[in-house]
Structure 1
């Protein structure tokens, strides 16, 4: 298991203890932190909070060679897994995330959800 997935699985275990589900939204492309925050992180957080389903707890990037960003990601904590996953898919499509964006889930085992 990659160190990234192992680390996120530990975060998912912590979330599960508080009755939440951790999803990681992996958005492909060279998207800088400010653009990620403005285009995806803040609007998604507002939508989730407005619906009472959860929140975006943070984000980051995976760097490639040099200063290239391979993908960015969002840590999303959801209170109701089923309703939250459905809402998350719809919200991400409305935010026009790039093609091949996926939602990763870590428990009971790692899996990817397509939009």
Structure 2
């Protein structure tokens, strides 16, 4: 860790991610970039849930060795290269900056109103695999949430509209996707 002059920041991600996924997609790559540049490190993070239990956002705690402009600029460049969802915010004493370029899509699969046969014969992992395939680089699967009535799958990419368009045919054909809903989340 750094000495007393270190500068603490929080990257609040407008992303609905399980803690493990937050680490894999954002915290670990950011930590590696900060360490490689010798300007800082990450130090864990947190997850904020809605009253329903669904994830609302998550954050990453960051320590820069100091708050000089060069280190803050490097951090912003790392965040930009990594790609974070729109609506994310980098916060610190004297700083609050909007960051993010990715758009988010939540696919809510109905977990209560389909036939038992559909739930027994269909596989949610197949849904994730096929959607990642049809997205073809325009977005990708990041995380999930299991609620009492729905399971949400979260995808982030360049354009919500493009991701939705690319998955529409699959959603209309695969039985587990009946009665699903799609929402923009970033």
Short-chain TM bin:
0.7 to 0.9
Which of residues 59, 77, 83 in structure 1 aligns to 2:70? Answer: 83
Contiguous gaps of at least 5 residues in structure 2: 100-186
Q: Secondary structure at the match of 1:61?
A: strand
Q: Distance in 2 between matches of 1:100 and 1:85?
A: 19
Deviates more, 1:59-68 or 1:36-45: 59-68
Q: Distance in 1 between matches of 2:53 and 2:46?
A: 14
Q: Distance in 2 between matches of 1:68 and 1:57?
A: 24
Normalised to the residue count of structure 2, the TM-score between the two structures is 0.49
The alignment status of 1:23 with 2:9, answered yes or no, reads yes
Point out the structure with max Rg over C-alpha.
2
Q: Distance in 2 between matches of 1:47 and 1:29?
A: 20
Residue 27 of structure 1 and its aligned partner are, at CA, apart by 0.3
Residue in structure 1 matched with residue 32 of structure 2 by the alignment = 46
Give the helix-richer structure, 1 or 2.
1
Q: Secondary structure at the match of 1:99?
A: coil
Asked which structure has the greater RCO (Cα within 8 Å, sep 6+), the reply is 1
Superposed structure 1 runs of 4+ greater than 4 Å apart: none
Residue 114 of structure 1 and its aligned partner are, at CA, apart by 2.4
Normalised to the residue count of structure 1, the TM-score between the two structures is 0.77
Q: Distance in 2 between matches of 1:37 and 1:83?
A: 25
